[in-house]
Chains A and B, each alone.
Chain A
Amino acid sequence: MAFLEIEHLRKSFGTLNVVEDFDLAVARGEFISFLGPSGCGKTTTLRMVAGFETPSAGAIRIDGKDVTEAKPNQRNVGMVFQSYALFPNMTIADNVGFGLRVAGRPAAEIKSRVEEMLALIKLPQLGGRYPYQLSGGQQQRVALARALAVKPKLLLLDEPLSALDAKIRVSLRQEIRQIQRELGITAIYVTHDQEEALSISDRIVVMSQGRMEQVGTPFEIYNYPRTRFVASFVGTLNVLKAQVVDVSGKLTVDGQPVATAAHLDGTRPGEIRSVALRPEAVSLADADGESNRLHGTVEEVSFLGSVVRIRVRFGENAVSLDTFNKPSVPPPDRGTKVTVSFARDALLLLDGDAT
């Protein structure tokens, strides 16, 4: 039996369904991300797990216990907020010890637990400071320590890094992951940042408009997006309009033939379908091993440092592709005629019609 079970969860405000038919089983110690754009229902789902929102239908069980109707302060769940939400009138130590204090634990126990938690987040010397004296990254680590101090069964993180600088974001997410592994705690992490979700999670739930689009490991989500939404939201994606020639996998893109490994069952010749290509799956060479080649013109060259992103136009369609920067090889000029190549199975067929 899964540690956290969410069954057919629904949340409606009036006639608007914010979350629909959310179904998920999370194993003990697993790190799950809810990924999606703002307004997709990921935060609402998290808040239902926390108990701040009451589900319109469905059930939530933590460790076998039904908590669907339980109040937040009876769930034994820890939560980290985007805005840190440290209590401004308390020192760092008092913040971390707050959960134990309201639970009526003895002072000595609170003290040792607070020290333990501050050591865990590597801020042992800051116990006497106030939140406003700390940087954003430090505040969020304290918030993490506060949530963990009560030994919750489940850790919920609501976009915890969104308010921070890019560099701190990367280092802190590694730290969060490391602490989560160390404690073996089950965690749900809400984010709109696909890179964050991919780098940190055991599994990702991609959500859009209140629905689960796909659940899977970062590897699955990135390489085998099941819907057009997932494909476009996770990573950069070239979406091309291709015309079906033959259901065996033959298509044309702007009149040039290409082949896909995907099944074209259910399509008819002449139909226009959306196909997708990751920039890193395309190379700017007439590589022998690759079966697909397209001839086009360099439209745009963006130098991104270690990577050079080049946009090649074929006609109606264009693809962006990434090549590694080599000091010995300058990037091509705009207007250069080039050939790009990619593997059959790099060309993904997306659900839905080509609109």
Chain B
Amino acid sequence: MTQSASPQALSSRAPGFSLSRVSWDWLGVVPFFLFAILFLILPTAFLVVGAFQDSVGNFTLRNIANLTQPSIVAAYWISIKVSAASAIIGGAVGFLIAYAAIAGGVPGWIRPTLMTFSGVASNFAGVPLAFAFLATLGRTGLVTAILIKYFDFNIYQHGFNLLSFWGLVLTYLYFQISLMILIMAPAIDGLKREWREAATILGATTWQYWRYIALPVLGPSLLGTTLLLFANAFGAIATAYGLTGSSLNIVTILLFAQIRGDVLHDQNLGYALALGMIVITGASNIAYIWLRARSERWQR
């Protein structure tokens, strides 16, 4: 950077030229900021402001208070439960698989294969994913049929239903696990083999190595990525919509229905619903970014 010339140097050369150059620099990012304001900031801000207004534009907290009505609380609660369950299970399973492929001493071709596949699977979300699970574990799905035919075991008579809470979690896991694998792989790479060797030769058992070194080092990434998975699931709608139509009362489907047909008959309550979502996904993302920065502090 030779940009920051001293004032003397500026005045001894052409000061006007230097000044105009500084302002030109800022012009370079104007299109980006204009775009971000128009299609990212303004729409969000509009909803956030609207959440605190009544239908004629006066300030009110009634919309926020109205979020406490049972059906909305239930929708948030189911969304949080689905997101948390799929994030925690997906995080744990994804971590185990990634660790097995990277540090488990398996042949070298497994890792790139797994990474490519995870890239695909993490993007294979939405309606097609719902179709895939219907074809697998739906009432006429292949696995359901095989279990009935060969094991005489009908999962639908034993409490399982794909169009339920656990069915949705099981489906979400498809992209949650793969996202976890993708994000955790670099962190697992960051676990140096020498740390384990140094711990071992100092007398530590495998358990002590995990307890004192590996888990504390990976902790921020593990927790942070799980939070990211949570936000990821919380904002998702297409998979759930493709799977259950509008029968499952999660908050994204509720908002979807509200936007389409205004089922709440209250525009500003819809804004509050959106605000609630932003707060939840925002909080988990901020926590993710903070934890990420913490974990990168050690990556040296």
Contacts and interface: CB of A to CB of B under 8 A. Distances in A.
Asked if the two chains touch in their complex, CB atoms less than 8 Å apart, one says yes
Interface of A: 50-52, 71-73, 75-79, 81, 83, 85-90, 98-99, 101-103, 132, 143, 146-147, 150
Contacts of B300: 88, 132
A98 B202 contact: yes
Given A72-B197, A102-B212, A89 B298 contact: yes
Given A87-B195, A89-B217, A51 B208 contact: no
B120 to A, nearest CB: 33
Contacts of A81: 194, 197-198
Contact of A102 (B204, B216, B217): B204
B298 A72 contact: no
B200 interface: yes
Contact of B203 (A50, A89, A143, A150): A150
Contacts of A76: 203
A73 B204 contact: yes
Contacts of B201: 50-51, 72-73, 75, 77-79, 147
A193 B197 CA distance: 24
Given A102-B212, A132-B297, A85 B195 contact: yes
A99 B199 CA distance: 8
B113 interface: no
Contacts of A73: 200-205
B192 to A, nearest CB: 6
Contact of A52 (B195, B197, B203): B197
Contacts of B199: 87, 98, 102
B213 interface: yes
Nearest to B218: A89
Contacts of B194: 81, 83, 85
B198 A85 contact: yes
Contacts of B212: 87, 90, 98, 101-102
A45 to B, nearest CB: 16
Contact of A85 (B197, B204, B208, B297): B197
A103 B298 contact: no
Contacts of B217: 87-89
7 contacts: A73-B203, A85-B195, A87-B198, A87-B213, A88-B217, A99-B202, A102-B202
Quick one: which of B200, B212, B297 has the most chain A CB within 10 A?
B200
A189 to B, nearest CB: 16
Interface in B228-244: none
A169 B261 CA distance: 74
Interface string B183-217: 00000000010110111111111001000110011
B197 A150 contact: no
Given A79-B198, A81-B198, A88 B298 contact: yes
A79 B195 contact: no
Contacts of B208: 102
